[in-house]
Structure 1
Amino acid sequence: MQIFVGSTQVSDITGTRRRMGRNAPTVIIIEHSTLARTTVVKLLERELAGWNVIDLISTESLDSALGAEVRLIVLGLAGRSVESTSLRDDLAAIAARCPEAPVTLLSGTDDAIIARQALKMGIRGFFSTSLPVDIALAGLRLVLAGGTFFPQLLGAGTNGSSEHSPARSEAEKSLDDRTQYLAIADFTPREADVLAELQCGCSNKVIAGKLNLSGHTVKMHLQHIMRKLQAQNRTEVVARLIQRAAGRPDVSPS
């Protein structure tokens, strides 16, 4: 996914035009760079047909989305450190207006240290602009399904230089385990798509129609998902995802 740099003040008008209905599920992109924001919007409009896609240049315009069913917020890191006052202010503004919506960060770097800090802060996904588009979209689907997506942390600290690295706390190790379990490595892009629709309560027939799959293929993906989550049915699948997102790993994946 290539992201370019630029800025303009037309975002609020554009975002309003993309709002198709208050009752439709909504994703909000908050990014100062015009072309970066436009790139993400185009991808999501194509992948999330029937959803509202609202793009804003800053959290100051979040009031325009009040009342919408916000399922996801993509916030541009814009070169800021995770501990910057500006970012914390943005996250506070989001929490005040959309407390139930998972927040993901869009970054120009795939630095594992930044990703780890973001995970500790409760961010549900970390997307660098170097990610392949199909992986990024599958990661967003995974977040929508209740999981977390931090590919930067997979295998971090195991590349042969651990003897010079400071010992990680148990909390950090737990976060790594949780992330590795829920990361896209555990679910194929199509499985992540099915998970997202399952989370919305869609039947197999509806999922097949929305994803342009056969009913048999949907059943096959669900079987693979249930095996990976050690779940017996659709309800348990959703419950397992919620448990993992909350950091309560009570079952080891097969």
Structure 2
Amino acid sequence: MTGPIRVLLADDEPLYRATVRALLDAEPGVEVVAEAGTGREACALARRVPVDVAVLDVRMPDLDGIAATRHLTALPRAPKVLVLTTFDLDEAVYGTLRAGAAGFLLKDVPPARLLDAVRTVAAGEALLAPSVTRRLIADFVRAPRSPRRELDGVTAREREVLALITRGLSNTEIEQHLHLSRHTVKTHIGHLMAKLAARDRAQLVIAGYEAGLAGA
């Protein structure tokens, strides 16, 4: 990516929004280009202003985080969506990930963690390493409404890669674990995303849980 990471910040609490904006604007290579107080306003802004990462609150008036994420990820130049939530057991997070969010954080994370998250998401990775995230996704996909998923067309090696992604390993860790080059790992991930119709790494993790690979 050339130039600064362009961020859309959406939260219905002006004080919190101002605090996060000050933090992001002070970070070299990151620029808040738009602010919104509602989900609908965030979607309208994203259609007019080029955005790389949308940082959204889950609970917003006039389109909540789930609906806003669904709209944003359907745009021709869809931004990566990073969701912030107050409660780590908020079931809205499940729907947000389903809608295409690249991941989420709790609102009380240290500032450095939020900055790292914006950079991680902008680079095309998903923020799924924290154990709370894995637990939330696992709880969701293991529920009775989520039948076991078949991995049609996925090769044995791709299945190994998916299992490691599901366990929260980064690309570098997968390279080391399977003794593969970076290019090969990225190729396998690209094939998995195509075969499983996954928008991003977050949806690959969900697919892995649905296929029973969490403990593989």
User: How far off its partner does 1:34 sit?
Assistant: 0.9
Provide the rounded CA distance (Å) in 1 between the counterparts of 2:77 and 2:52: 10
Provide the rounded CA distance (Å) in 2 between the counterparts of 1:34 and 1:153: 26
Say whether residues 1:77 and 2:25 are aligned partners.
Answer: no
Select the residue among 45, 50, 53 that pairs with 2:29. Answer: 50
Partner of 1:145: 123
Partner of 1:206: none
User: Which 10-residue stretch deviates more, 33-42 or 84-93?
Assistant: 84-93
Structure 2 runs not aligned, ≥5 long: 150-158, 194-199, 209-216
Provide the rounded CA distance (Å) in 2 between the counterparts of 1:123 and 1:170: 22
Amino acid at match of 1:102: K
Say whether residues 1:135 and 2:84 are aligned partners.
Answer: no
User: How far off its partner does 1:72 sit?
Assistant: 0.9
Partner of 2:176: 227
Partner of 1:106: 84
Superposed CA deviations along residues 171-205 of structure 1, whole A, max 9, x for unmatched, are 5xx9x9676444xxx45xxxxxxx9xxxxxxxxxx
Count of matched residue positions in the alignment of Structure 1 and Structure 2: 180
User: How far off its partner does 1:169 sit?
Assistant: 3.5
Aligned pairs (5 A) from 1:196-207? none
Provide the rounded CA distance (Å) in 1 between the counterparts of 2:138 and 2:47: 44
Superposed CA deviations along residues 14-64 of structure 1, whole A, max 9, x for unmatched, are xxxxxxxxx7541111112111112222222233x2343122223326545
Is the CA contact (8 Å cut-off) linking 2:81 and 2:102 kept in structure 1?
Answer: yes
Partner of 1:120: 98
Structure 2 CA distance for partners of 1:237 and 1:101, relative to 1, 3 Å: farther
Is the CA contact (8 Å cut-off) linking 2:69 and 2:96 kept in structure 1?
Answer: no
User: How far off its partner does 1:170 sit?
Assistant: 2.6
TM-score, normalised to structure 1, is 0.52
User: How far off its partner does 1:74 sit?
Assistant: 0.9
Identity of aligned residues (%): 19
Larger radius of gyration: 1
Structure with more contact order per residue of length (Cα contacts < 8 Å, sep ≥ 6): 2
- Say which SS state the counterpart of residue 68 (structure 2) adopts: helix
TM-score, normalised to structure 2, is 0.59
Amino acid at match of 1:36: Y
Provide the rounded CA distance (Å) in 2 between the counterparts of 1:131 and 1:30: 17
- Say which SS state the counterpart of residue 23 (structure 2) adopts: helix
- Say which SS state the counterpart of residue 51 (structure 2) adopts: strand
